[in-house]
């Protein structure tokens, strides 16, 4: 048990000198006159050892208390002579709350991540996943704390939307129409009979609404789920993921990049401090270089290069890539990882991408060929943040909509924000799970969220 938990236990004494603990049994080991149990209540990584003997009430039923069972213990907290623990509970009473038969899948041995994914309902009870989900919680709070300390207003943007913010077309449709008997008109499905009287989707990003709020409240952020029906079964994509999206009025691309860098460093430091023993578990068993990676992330200045410079570096290397490298082509994960892992060996920001490969809302640069976009790229993962300065000039915005096949009439309200009191503004989206991968060394995004949603997988 960690210090916080011990203090909690002591401050909630049942009666003077006595503590109560409820939790799950990790192991039970019997000696001649004693039983030793390792109990974990989920609040921290460390178990606490409980010792029971004939004087303990409930001792006669001790044989039924096996790995996985839930128990309630009352006893005295005492300094432990055992190795690796400061405290133990000498039980005066032990009660079996919920038994766990021998079929309990998490018997004491190491299981593969692949196997544990098949028992997503139980894997939070393992050390590794318990630690991952506690770090997830700490990171969430660190993010809110950061924005609050920096004067941002926390806003909520809709989950149900009529728009494709990114223009990538990977939207989940939502409907109340009967899929077996869809009403049709000459144009196809007659959406006027659907719930919203037009096509509706799950949002891919709250950005457009966040922009409207930033143009009223100054600095704002959202932190919520986003949904993408990309059928890419990779270790970095999910159909449902969480995104943090700050949007800042009166902020240009440089300010945006400065902010993203400060933000990542601040929340990383905070989590390293608040969840140190959980992070240590990952540094010991999952990625031996984790602490070095995180220290480097926090202490080094991120490299900043333009897309053009990135293309030059990638064209000059002898490295073979699956996707072609040329101006106008997207930078893929393999390229990003080469830059972050092999070339620079540290996080970097690539900015000023070609307008032809980026969404309509990004601000067109003086050269008319590129837009004020930026991606933050980190070792082992690739892109972790995507953002831009937004197009604040209404004429240019309309030109970009036309160019990208978007009907300005559908975005009349977005255009209004440029018609009335338009100012320069910028923002970005951080993939929350990708940052968690970075903080834990976990290499598959399915393992940093309790119940992942990926193509063909909606169990639990």
Nearer to ligand 4AD, 90 or 157 (CB): 157
Write phi, then psi, for 202 (nearest 5 degrees): -85, 140
Residue 166 interacts with ligand 4AD (CB under 6 A)? Answer: yes
Residue with tokens 């919520």: 224
Kindly tell me which residue out of 28, 237, 358, 446 binds ligand 4AD, with binding defined by CB under 6 A.
Answer: 237
Minimum CB–partner distance for residue 387 and Mg ion (Å): 8
Region near Mg ion per CB under 5 A, out of 232-240, 320-328, 380-388, 390-398:
380-388
**CB within 8 A of 361, min separation 6: which ones?**
165, 207, 208, 211, 388, 390, 391, 397, 400
The count of chain residues that interact with Mg ion, using the rule CB under 5 A, is: 1
Residue 429 interacts with Mg ion (CB under 5 A)? Answer: no
Taking the C-alpha atoms of residue 181 and residue 305, their distance in angstroms, rounded to an integer, is 53
Nearer to ligand 4AD, 115 or 413 (CB): 413
Taking the C-alpha atoms of residue 267 and residue 143, their distance in angstroms, rounded to an integer, is 6
Nearest to 441 by CA among 282, 284, 297: 282
Look up residue 196 and give its two tokens: 């919203």
Nearer to ligand 4AD, 80 or 404 (CB): 404
Kindly tell me which residue out of 28, 335, 434, 446 binds ligand 4AD, with binding defined by CB under 6 A.
Answer: 434
Contact 288, 307 (CB under 8 A): no
Nearer to ligand 4AD, 90 or 454 (CB): 454
Nearest to 207 by CA among 242, 250, 166, 146: 166
Nearer to Mg ion, 23 or 386 (CB): 386
Nearer to ligand 4AD, 35 or 207 (CB): 207
Near ligand 4AD in 358-417, by CB under 6 A:
383-387
Kindly tell me which residue out of 164, 245, 352, 447 binds ligand 4AD, with binding defined by CB under 6 A.
Answer: 245
Kindly tell me which residue out of 152, 201, 223, 241 binds ligand 4AD, with binding defined by CB under 6 A.
Answer: 241
Which runs of consecutive H residues, i.e. helices, occur in 204-252? 207-217
Q: β-strand 200-202 against 160-161: which pairing, if any?
A: antiparallel
Region near ligand 4AD per CB under 6 A, out of 6-14, 85-93, 398-406, 431-439:
431-439
Nearer to ligand 4AD, 346 or 426 (CB): 426
Taking the C-alpha atoms of residue 315 and residue 309, their distance in angstroms, rounded to an integer, is 10
Q: Could you give the angle at the alpha carbon of 378 between the alpha carbons of 133 and 134, nearest 5°? A: 10
Kindly tell me which residue out of 75, 130, 386, 431 binds Mg ion, with binding defined by CB under 5 A.
Answer: 386
Minimum CB–partner distance for residue 400 and ligand 4AD (Å): 15
Q: Could you give the angle at the alpha carbon of 3 between the alpha carbons of 23 and 447, nearest 5°? A: 60
Nearer to Mg ion, 353 or 411 (CB): 353
Taking the C-alpha atoms of residue 164 and residue 81, their distance in angstroms, rounded to an integer, is 62
Residue 392: count of CB within 10 angstroms of its CB:
18
Residue 164 interacts with ligand 4AD (CB under 6 A)? Answer: no
Nearest to 210 by CA among 253, 259, 243, 171: 243
Taking the C-alpha atoms of residue 108 and residue 26, their distance in angstroms, rounded to an integer, is 8
Region near Mg ion per CB under 5 A, out of 75-83, 98-106, 278-286, 379-387:
379-387
Taking the C-alpha atoms of residue 64 and residue 22, their distance in angstroms, rounded to an integer, is 16
Minimum CB–partner distance for residue 171 and Mg ion (Å): 16
Per-position x/- string for 188-227, each x denoting binding to ligand 4AD as judged by CB under 6 A, each - no binding: -----------------x-x--------------------
Point out which residues bind ligand 4AD (CB under 6 A): 165-166, 205, 207, 228, 230, 237-238, 241, 243, 245, 383-387, 427-429, 431, 433-434
């Amino acid at each position: 048990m960690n210090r916080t938990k011990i203090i909690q236990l002591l401050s909630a004494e049942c009666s003077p000198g006595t503590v109560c603990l409820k939790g799950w049994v990790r192991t039970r080991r019997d000696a001649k006159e004693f039983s030793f149990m390792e109990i974990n209540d989920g609040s921290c990584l460390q178990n606490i050892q409980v010792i029971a003997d004939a004087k303990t009430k409930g001792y006669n039923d001790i044989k039924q208390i096996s790995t996985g069972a839930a128990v309630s213990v009352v006893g005295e907290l005492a300094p432990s002579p055992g190795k690796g623990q400061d405290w133990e509970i000498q039980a005066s009473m032990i009660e079996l709350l919920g038994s766990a038969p021998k079929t309990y899948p998490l018997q004491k041995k190491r299981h593969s991540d692949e196997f544990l994914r098949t028992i997503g309902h139980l894997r939070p009870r393992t050390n590794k996943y318990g630690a991952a989900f506690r770090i997830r919680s700490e990171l969430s709070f660190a993010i809110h704390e950061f924005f609050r300390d920096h004067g941002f207003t926390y806003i909520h943007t809709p989950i149900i939307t009529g728009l494709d913010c990114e223009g990538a077309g990977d939207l989940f449709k939502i409907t109340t129409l009967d899929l077996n008997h869809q009403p049709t008109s000459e144009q196809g499905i007659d959406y006027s009979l659907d719930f919203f009287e037009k096509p509706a989707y799950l949002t891919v990003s709250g950005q457009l609404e966040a922009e409207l709020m930033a143009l009223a409240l100054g600095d704002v952020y959202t932190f919520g789920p986003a949904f993408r029906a990309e059928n890419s079964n990779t270790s970095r994509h999910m159909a449902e993921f969480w995104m943090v999206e700050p949007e800042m009025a009166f902020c240009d691309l440089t300010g945006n990049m400065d902010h993203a860098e400060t933000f990542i460093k601040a929340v990383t430091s905070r989590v390293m401090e608040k969840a140190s023993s959980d992070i240590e578990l990952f540094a010991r068993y999952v990625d031996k270089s984790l602490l070095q990676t995180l220290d480097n992330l926090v202490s080094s200045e991120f490299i900043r290069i333009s897309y053009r410079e990135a293309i030059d570096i990638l064209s000059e290397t002898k490295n073979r890539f699956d996707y072609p490298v040329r101006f106008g082509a997207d930078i893929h994960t393999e390229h990003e990882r080469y830059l972050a892992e092999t070339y620079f060996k540290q996080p970097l920001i690539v900015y000023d991408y070609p307008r032809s490969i980026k969404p309509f809302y990004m601000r067109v640069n003086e050269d008319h060929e590129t837009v004020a976009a930026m991606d933050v790229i980190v070792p082992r993962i690739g892109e972790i943040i995507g953002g831009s300065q937004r197009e604040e000039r209404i004429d240019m915005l309309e030109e970009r909509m036309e160019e990208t096949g978007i009907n300005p009439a559908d975005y009349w309200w977005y255009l209004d924000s440029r018609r009335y009191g338009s100012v320069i503004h910028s923002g970005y989206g951080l993939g929350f799970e990708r940052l968690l991968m970075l903080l834990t060394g976990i290499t598959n995004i399915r393992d940093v969220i309790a119940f992942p949603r990926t193509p063909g997988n909606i169990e639990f």
